[in-house]
Amino acid sequence: MRIPVGVVVERCKATSPWLESVWRPVAVLCGLPDAAPWTALGAGEDAATFYVGAAEIELYRTETDHYRANLASGAPSVWVALRPTGVLPAYDLFAVTADPSEGESFTQSGDDLVDAVPMPAVVRQIVEAFVAEHHVEQPIYRRKRDCADPQASAGRGLARKDRGE
């Protein structure tokens, strides 16, 4: 299942002498707004917000455990990953996900800007319905170890003369 969303980011003036500004995702909008990517939404003295563009949250039946954990967390989130471009606009919208494990995996490259934002109520309802329809409890299988045979390893590692040979 795919949920179309729009992403909003904020650019704030940095307090560091080495950075001019700091970017961060601030919201996900359910549906596709009628705006072009990188449309300015608002500006203040030290901050400005932009509509970055459209993306899709993809839901998979095999990941319903992760979605359930996200929904049960008390503050369901959507992870937004932005990839630096090196030119203007400063970032490309890379991915949006409701899977916490996938969101964490976006941070592994080290260059991408990844942050969690609150999940909109409409997206939450869709994810809840998807989990209710597709979740299947997986039994936990625990392996039993074979019993060790103390005589099988009794002579290992000893020199022949130490073993009496």
Mean pLDDT computed over 85-99: 92
User: What's the CA gap between 105 and 82, in Å, rounded?
Assistant: 13
Q: How confident is the model at residue 27 (pLDDT cuts 50, 70, 90)?
A: very high
Q: What is the pLDDT of residues 115-165, one digit of tens each?
A: 999 999 999 999 999 999 988 777 777 887 777 666 666 656 555 555 555
**What pTM was estimated for this model as a whole?**
0.79
Q: Where are any strands of DSSP class E within 14-136?
A: 21-30, 39-43, 47-58, 77-84, 91-97, 113-118
64 has pLDDT over 90: yes
Q: What is the pLDDT of residue 141?
A: 78
